[in-house]
Chain A
Amino acid sequence: MRLSIYRYNPDADAKPYMQNYEIQPQPGDRMLLDILERIRAIDDSLAYRRSCREGICGSDGMNINGRNGLACTTRISEVKEPVVLRPLPSFPAIRDLVVDLSRFFRQYHSVHPYVVDPAPTRPEKERLQTPEQREEINGLYECILCACCSSQCPSYWWNPEKFLGPAALIQACRFIVDSRDKATEARLDQLNDVNKLFRRRVIMNCANVCPKGLNPAAAIERIRQAMLKASL
């Protein structure tokens, strides 16, 4: 299997370059991450993030043949050779396939991704929801924060500091529609400016590349509809 991988070590390289590898997949190798592990066995200078290796942690998001995805859920039988691997676009590369996600997580934290209930007393057990209320957060809570969507979003490329990006916005939607959260008005107010949400251009790359099959574009639309309803 032929691969061309973005390499950059800021301590040693004047500029990034692409390095070619040829690896023979072994029985049991099914995903791209398996091949990366084999490369690292022969070249331990290659840097990439990985953890759960089953599409839960979101660590190994990278650009695979021009399209963002998780190496651990990308089947080697389905990728075209040579497989070109680059770090997630729009984020500063720290080294090889590892990018600096500080901005991404700053934006995630800015939407206050937790249930807010200012009631002075806490429930004795859990905060109950009806099945219908619980249904509302399906398709939202599953986001694993791999950054594939935000990194593939042209609106995010144009305004990475001001537009929150699809990942932060799907998280915002997850708490806006949650019946247990009592800060909906403040959440909608916070997003109602020229940049945070309204820089999106309905390009839909986010929904196209999400490795969990979520639709951040639809979530952003739900926020906008909630804003509209709240303003009437």
Chain B
Amino acid sequence: MDSPWHCTVGANLRRRSAVKKILSGLRAWTVQRVSALYLLGFTIYFSLHLLINPPASQQMWRMYILTPAPQVTTLLFFAALAIHAWVGVRDVILDYLKPFPLRITALAVLAVGLAATTIWAGALLLG
């Protein structure tokens, strides 16, 4: 006799590809909200910092942004931005783009665009 559905469904879901579940369902929802909080906090802090203590020159700005704390928090900002944008735009693509080739192309363009932007920001900040 087959097992009842409630005994098998959890195990079946756990067997699914980890890649497929990496940013879907609750995890994607949670990551989007956590990243939104970080983006909000960073934007407020950074804006206030620039208002209160504006750099006198490009050299001063460069010195400031390349010190470890701003460097890491800014890098995290771009990473959070990429993840947040991925979940949000992916949702829009899933809702509106129905033809599979169009959908997969849009998702690929989005993924490459966000990855390239984040890597570029990382290279600037660490360079």
Please give the residue numbers on chain A whose beta carbons come within 8 Å of chain B beta carbons, in ascending order: 112, 116, 118, 155, 158-159, 182-183, 185-187, 189-195, 197-199, 201, 224, 227-228, 231
Contact = CB atoms under 8 A, between A and B. Distances in A.
Interface of B: 4-7, 9-10, 13-14, 21, 24-26, 28-30, 91, 94-96
28 contacts: A112-B6, A118-B6, A118-B7, A158-B95, A159-B95, A185-B10, A186-B5, A186-B6, A186-B7, A186-B9, A186-B10, A187-B6, A189-B9, A189-B10, A189-B14, A191-B25, A192-B26, A193-B25, A194-B24, A198-B24, A198-B25, A198-B26, A198-B28, A199-B94, A199-B95, A224-B26, A228-B30, A231-B26
A197 B30 CA distance: 14
B34 to A, nearest CB: 12
Q: State the majority secondary structure of interface residues on B.
A: helix
A227 B24 CA distance: 13
Given A159-B95, A199-B95, A227 B6 contact: no
Contacts of B30: 228
A224 B28 CA distance: 12
A160 B91 CA distance: 15
B13 A183 contact: no
Nearest to B23: A194
* For the complex of A and B, 4 pairs with smallest distance between CB atoms: A183-B6, A186-B6, A194-B24, A192-B25
Contacts of A190: 9, 13
Contacts of B14: 189
A158 B91 CA distance: 11
Contacts of A185: 10
B13 A116 contact: no
B5 A112 contact: yes
Contacts of A183: 6
Nearest to B12: A189
B85 to A, nearest CB: 17
A9 to B, nearest CB: 30
A194 B25 contact: yes
A103 B56 CA distance: 65
A178 to B, nearest CB: 13
A185 B8 CA distance: 11
Nearest to A185: B10
Nearest to A187: B6
**Most chain B C-beta atoms within 10 Å of own C-beta, residue among A183, A190, A198:** A198
A66 B94 CA distance: 26
A228 B33 CA distance: 13
B21 to A, nearest CB: 8
A73 B14 CA distance: 45
Among A186, A199, A201, A227, residue most surrounded by chain B Cβ atoms (within 10 Å)? A186
A149 to B, nearest CB: 18
Given A186-B6, A198-B28, 20 more contacts: A112-B6, A116-B6, A118-B4, A118-B6, A159-B94, A159-B95, A183-B6, A185-B10, A186-B7, A186-B10, A187-B6, A189-B9, A189-B13, A190-B9, A192-B25, A198-B24, A199-B94, A201-B95, A224-B26, A227-B25
